[in-house]
Amino acid sequence: MDFNLTEEQQAFRDEVRRFLDENLPPEEERDEMFQLKWGKLVREKRWVGFSWPKEVGGGGGDIMEQAILKEEMANRRAPPLGTCIMGLAWVGPAIIQYGTQDQKGRFIEDILDAKYQWCTGYSEPDIGSDLASLQCKGVREGDHFVVNGQKTWTSLAQWAKWMILLVRTKANTEKKHDGITCLLVEMDSPGITVAPIQNMSKQPFFAEVFFDDVKVPVANLLGKEGQGWQITIGALANERSGISEVTGLLRELDLLKELARNSQLGGRPALEDARVRRRIAEYETRVAAMRFNGLRYLTKQIRGEPLGSETSVNKLHTAHIEKYTAEFALELQGSYGAIAPGRNHPIDHGRWQKEALGWCTAVIGGGTPNIQKNIIAERILGLPHD
Ligand SMILES: Cc1cc2nc3c(=O)[nH]c(=O)nc-3n(C[C@H](O)[C@H](O)[C@H](O)COP(=O)(O)OP(=O)(O)OC[C@H]3O[C@@H](n4cnc5c(N)ncnc54)[C@H](O)[C@@H]3O)c2cc1C
């Protein structure tokens, strides 16, 4: 692994830094107008969908430059490059890889322009970790599929215009992964009911979604019938070098240190206490390990090799750090830790309280720690099956 950047990569990093110096105000000055302006600026630079092919409207950039771009952005806590969250993360890559020309034309530019949100209909009641057992049914009838069943924990469902949906189109297949099909479904189709679920910080962030004889045109079938599992696994492996995530976590640790410096423990700044220093050092060590893992993933991607089970290692570290740093921050705040955001003077505007209540996104979303441990044990360490 060569840690040095080539001249071109160095020049690209300088260009990104110059852009940030010229266009990114301090965090406290970033209002809604700025967010709108930022969205247009980064789109004009073709930095949204940076590595997507130019023919579909992407930037046509390479993986290494993409990592540089994301790292520089995370370093300065810049807003995201594009706001169509799931569209950019996995729907777009899946459509680019498996979609028809018509689907690429209908959806990709809209994702890059953040015209609307997508949501993801994978999990069902009692079917989350064991996703391949999904039961929501799709039956082909002429030029459409008829969908019946239920999805749950569907993030953004009440605001999304489209859903990427997994349905079972064939029962009793030899392997449960077969017979699963991927459909692109318009959320205002007759027969869809969305029932929001409140999370523990009282945000209706996700929802249950019910399908009652919902007709989905065959033109919205992604890939082939029965190819749904392959599409899902392939799309989720996209853009997972994790380098920008590591930079984001380092910035998070800077804030934690700042909090420890400003909090008192036994009449002295908490940061001078050996136990506090040890805890922070443990988090920093984990993030440093994540960075090296991220560079390994990046090297594989540059060589054109697919990413597999190894990304579970960083997912596991992220879950640990996100959960325990927020809890530790509240410990440092003492009784102030109990003041809810929006009430009288919470420290750091209540950011740690919000994070302490929001850990489940990083910990459970995309697969729980137990599942990541199973993957590492079975597929990396070669231990017997669970
Ligand atoms: C914030 C958030 C957002 C989400 N957004 C979406 C979304 O947009 N779309 C979507 O489809 N889903 C979404 N999910 C659902 C998420 O993917 C599932 O919750 C997750 O996969 C776990 O599934 P489950 O809830 O059914 O738990 P279960 O699979 O029932 O697991 C329950 C417990 O059993 C453990 N367990 C299960 N199987 C094993 C095993 N084989 N070995 C050891 N332990 C095991 C788990 O680790 C867990 O502790 C979201 C979840 C959260 C929290």
For the chain, domains (ranges, CATH) are 7-83 (no CATH), 118-227 (2.40.110.10), 240-380 (1.20.140.10)
What angle separates helix 274-302 from helix 63-75, to the nearest 10 degrees? 160
If you average pLDDT over residues 214-242, what whole number do you get?
Answer: 85
Taking phi first (over 0 means left), then psi (-120 to 50 degrees means alpha), and beta for anything else, what does residue 307 get? beta
* Confidence (pLDDT) at 237: 62
- Residues constituting the chain: 386
122 lines ligand 1 (CB under 6 A): yes
Angle at 284 between CA 280 and CA 290, to 5 degrees: 150
CA angle 102, 119, 326 (to 5 degrees): 145
333: closest CA among 259, 258, 254, 257?
Answer: 259
* Pairing, β 144-155 against β 192-197: unpaired
367 lines ligand 1 (CB under 6 A): yes
Q: Which two structure tokens, joined as six digits, stand for 108? A: 């990709």
3-state secondary structure of 222: strand
Report d(CA 286, CA 278) in Å as an integer. Answer: 12
349: confidence class by pLDDT, cuts 50, 70, 90: confident
- Please give the sequence-ordered ranges of beta strands (E in DSSP) within 143-202, or none if there are none: 144-155, 162-168, 180-186, 192-197
CB 68 near ligand 1, within 6 Å? no
Distance between CA 264 and CA 262 in Å, rounded?
7
Beta strands in the chain (DSSP E): 118-121, 137-141, 144-155, 162-168, 180-186, 192-197, 206-217, 221-222, 264-265, 268-269
Q: What is the largest CA-CA distance in the chain?
A: 75
pTM over 0.85? The answer is yes
Q: Which residues contact 18 (CB under 8 A, 6 or more apart)?
A: none
Quote the CA–CA distance of 247 and 327 in Å, as a whole number: 20
Report the C-alpha gap between 360 and 319 in whole angstroms: 9
Express each pLDDT in 119-176 by its tens digit. 999 999 989 999 999 999 999 999 999 999 999 999 999 999 999 999 999 998 999 9
Query: Beta strand pairing status for 162-168 and 118-121?
Result: parallel
| Contact present, 313 and 292 (Cβ < 8 Å) | no
Atom of ligand 1 at shortest range from CA of 123: 11
From 150, 153, 156, 198, mutation site for ligand 1 pocket: most ligand atoms within 8 A of C-beta: 153
Closest CA to ligand 1's atom 25: 128
Ligand 1 atom nearest to CA at 127: 26
pLDDT of residue 338: 86
CA triple 74-79-82, angle to 5 deg: 110
pLDDT band at 192 (very low <50, low <70, confident <90, very high): very high
pLDDT at 9 over 60: yes
Higher pLDDT, 106 or 244: 106
Q: Please, are residues 146 and 136 in contact by the beta-carbon 8 Å criterion?
A: no
With H, G, I as helix, E, B as strand and everything else as coil, classify residue 345: coil
Instruction: Tell me how far the alpha carbon of residue 379 is from its chain's centroid.
Output: 23
Q: Indicate the pairing of strand 264-265 with strand 144-155.
A: unpaired
Is the CB–ligand 1 distance for residue 371 below 6 Å?
A: yes
- Measured between alpha carbons, how far is 295 from 242 in angstroms, rounded to an integer? 8
3-state secondary structure of 95: helix
